[in-house]
Amino acid sequence: AQKVTQAQTEISVVEKEDVTLDCVYETRDTTYYLFWYKQPPSGELVFLIRRNSFDEQNEISGRYSWNFQKSTSSFNFTITASQVVDSAVYFCALSEAMQGAQKLVFGQGTRLTINP
């Protein structure tokens, strides 16, 4: 069965600090996708990134970067120079890549608070 674990329930940092959100996953599939979504206080879900299991290159998008380590089944998310607007709940998710439902399995989420 697929499972996603976000061990950090809550993180609080001061603005401009770097912060890393951890995500560990379990799957028997050899081909799968990993995702990060952001849920700001307003409640909507914002898609941030999708990664397939064959692409272990790290990715950077502005202040956001993702570190995919297949050997440790981790897909960690780092925010550099955090800002108050980064305050949100962040969800890591996993889906199979084969034909079929491709439903997302979400972690419990990490509530990130950036203090001014």
Contacting positions for other proteins (CB under 8 A): 35, 37, 42-47, 50, 91, 93, 97-109
When the beta carbons of 72 and 99 are compared against other proteins, the nearer one is: 99
Cβ at position 20, least distance to other proteins in Å: 19
Number of other residues whose CB lies within 10 A of the CB of residue 90: 23
- Give the residue with the Cβ less far from other proteins, 17 or 102: 102
Contact 49, 66 (CB under 8 A): yes
Question: Given the DSSP bridges, would you call strands 110-115 and 10-14 parallel, antiparallel or unpaired?
Answer: parallel
**Which CB sits closer to other proteins, 43 or 62?**
43
What are 19's two structure tokens? 């912060």
